[in-house]
Amino acid sequence: MRTFSYFCRSLYCIGMYALFKKEISNFLGSLIGIMVIVVFLLITGLFLWVFQSDFNLLNYGYANLDSLFIIAPWVFLFLVPAVTMRSFAEENRTGTIEMLVTKPLSDWQIITAKFLAGVALVLLALIPTSIYYFSVYRLGLPVGNLDSGGIWGSYIGLFLLSSSFVAIGIFCSSVTNNQILAFILSVFLCGFLYIGFEFIFSLSLFGSIDLFMKQLGMASHYSSISRGVIDTRDVLYFLSVIVLFLSMTKLVLASRKW
């Protein structure tokens, strides 16, 4: 019985890995995946090193990467939906979703593989920005005079935030067969969850629960982690958002069988 259970788990992992590998190949084998990485690095690089603005690190006067973690969420707000918009929408449009769900793969395997592929692409975009860290590290006076804990905390926060965007984007893609509609819906939901509650908080409409409304938004938790203190409440918040939207995607897929 134990051997059979191990065999089933192995098949489960192999099937999900095969789909994950296929999704990654589709991303990197098309212009979309490459363009996401290039555009992200180009925009952040121009703002941090070229454009004469408040975000320029050379003009900032302090050795830190705060500018990167202010700009990056806004860039991902548009790039992540551009990546995820075709996850299920394209499959729905072409009818290949029917073939996919009839394979020996569970709905959760399909959703998880697509989610992990999107997260992997985000990670591939973030890894080259470590060059910014080492550049600022060397430029500090004295060398290494920067808050490394805060920077790595910000990286963790940015990764969790972008992973939440991926989960939201996959859900939006599952409810339509139109990629443009999936993109617009995803940008709207990601934007609302990121800054919408901050805007509502600033209006002071709910009195004693204004602070609670603010805590419902991603920006509050992202800012908290970016201080370098990894609070389990912030991590659980992002994990809850991811699980919520992936579960909603599961319901959308399951509804086709009703």
Buried b (16+ CB within 10 A) or exposed e, 60-76: eeebbbbbbbebbbebb
| Residue 95, Ramachandran bin (φ over 0: left; ψ between -120 and 50: alpha; else beta) | left
Q: What's the pLDDT tens digit per position in 189-248?
A: 999 999 988 887 777 777 677 777 778 889 989 988 887 778 889 999 999 999 999 999
In this predicted structure, what is the pLDDT of residue 20? 82
| Residue 142, Ramachandran bin (φ over 0: left; ψ between -120 and 50: alpha; else beta) | beta
Domain assignment of residue 193, given as a range? 2-255
Listed in sequence order, the residues at least 6 apart from 190 whose beta carbon sits closer than 8 Å to its beta carbon are 77, 80, 81, 164, 165, 168, 169
The rounded mean pLDDT for the chain is: 83
Q: What's the pLDDT tens digit per position in 169-180?
A: 999 999 988 899
Q: Per-residue pLDDT averaged across 89-94, rounded? A: 73
pLDDT tier for residue 88 given thresholds of 50, 70 and 90: confident
- Number of domains within the chain: 1
Please tell me which of 13-17, 149-153, 177-181, 210-214 the model is most confident about, judged by mean pLDDT: 177-181
Instruction: Give the orientation angle of helix 179-191 with respect to helix 66-84, to 10 degrees.
Output: 150
At residue 158, does pLDDT exceed 90? yes
The percentage of residues in the chain with a pLDDT greater than 70, rounded to a whole number, is 86
Amino acid sitting at position 185: L
At residue 91, does pLDDT exceed 80? no
Question: Do residues 243 and 166 make contact, with C-beta atoms less than 8 angstroms apart?
Answer: no
Picking from 40-44, 50-54, 110-114, 217-221, which range would have the lowest pLDDT averaged per residue?
50-54
For the whole model, what pTM was predicted? 0.88
In this predicted structure, what is the pLDDT of residue 97? 66
Picking from 42-46, 148-152, 170-174, which range would have the lowest pLDDT averaged per residue?
148-152
Q: What's the pLDDT tens digit per position in 101-137?
A: 666 678 888 899 899 999 999 999 999 998 988 888 8
Question: Do residues 92 and 175 make contact, with C-beta atoms less than 8 angstroms apart?
Answer: no
